């Protein structure tokens, strides 16, 4: 077994009606479920923030979708979302979660956000996913989920930098597209050697 499907953050808060809804985020769920059957390994990621997380605009008395500087660099200040134990943090109810071999939770450190499935936003603190994949002999990753321009993008680029062969299925992702972020993400993924399919 060398190939795994990585399903990024298909959670209620990123779907229509959620706190940080990605347009049409729910429409990719049936396709993701169908794709799971084609992979010997399926891994899910789950955004998992404590209340009052440092990436929340409310923590800074700021407007959502504004920028601030953190010790690790620029940070978008998001609406409160995917709070641990909340309905919003749960996976979309139609997602076939029982097919997952592993669920990686990220963003639980209150001091630092975590877009990537591999590293927190300081780009050095690992989540442990790389070690898991290597010990299982997985070399190829296909990524789907939410959102194309943030968590999928950061996960794909990090995986490629770590030496994995990475494909992003754009038909099974959706983007926030905040201030040109989708175009920048596509360019960054392409430059890193990620295949956009």
> Catalytic residues, which ones?
9, 106, 151
User: What one-character DSSP code corresponds to residue 15?
Assistant: S
Instruction: Dihedral sign for Cα 141, 143, 149, 154, please.
Output: negative
Residue 84: closest CA among 128, 46, 116:
46
Q: Which residues pair with 73 in a beta bridge?
A: 70
Give CA 54 to chain center in angstroms. Answer: 18
CB 9 within 8 A of CB 43: no
CB 147 within 8 A of CB 18: no
The owner of tokens 């979302």 is 81
Query: CA–CA separation, 10 vs 84, rounded Å?
Result: 15
Give CA 168 to chain center in angstroms. Answer: 12
């Amino acid at each position: 077994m060398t190939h795994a499907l990585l399903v990024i953050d298909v959670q209620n808060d990123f779907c229509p009606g959620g706190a940080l809804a990605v347009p049409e985020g729910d429409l990719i769920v049936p396709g993701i479920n169908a794709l799971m059957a084609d992979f010997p390994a399926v891994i899910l990621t789950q955004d998992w923030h404590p209340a009052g997380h440092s990436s929340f605009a409310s923590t800074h008395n700021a407007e959502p979708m504004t920028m601030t500087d953190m010790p690790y660099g620029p940070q978008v200040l998001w609406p409160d979302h995917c709070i641990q134990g909340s309905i919003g943090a749960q996976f979309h109810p139609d997602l076939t979660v029982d097919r997952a071999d592993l669920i990686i939770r990220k963003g639980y450190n209150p001091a630092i956000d975590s877009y990537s499935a591999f590293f927190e936003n300081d780009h050095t603190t690992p989540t442990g996913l790389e070690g898991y994949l290597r010990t299982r002999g997985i070399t190829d990753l296909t990524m789907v989920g939410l959102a194309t321009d943030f968590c999928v993008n950061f996960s794909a680029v990090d995986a490629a930098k770590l030496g994995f062969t990475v494909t992003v299925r754009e038909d099974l992702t959706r983007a926030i597209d905040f201030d040109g972020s989708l175009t920048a993400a596509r360019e960054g993924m392409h430059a890193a050697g990620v295949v956009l399919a």
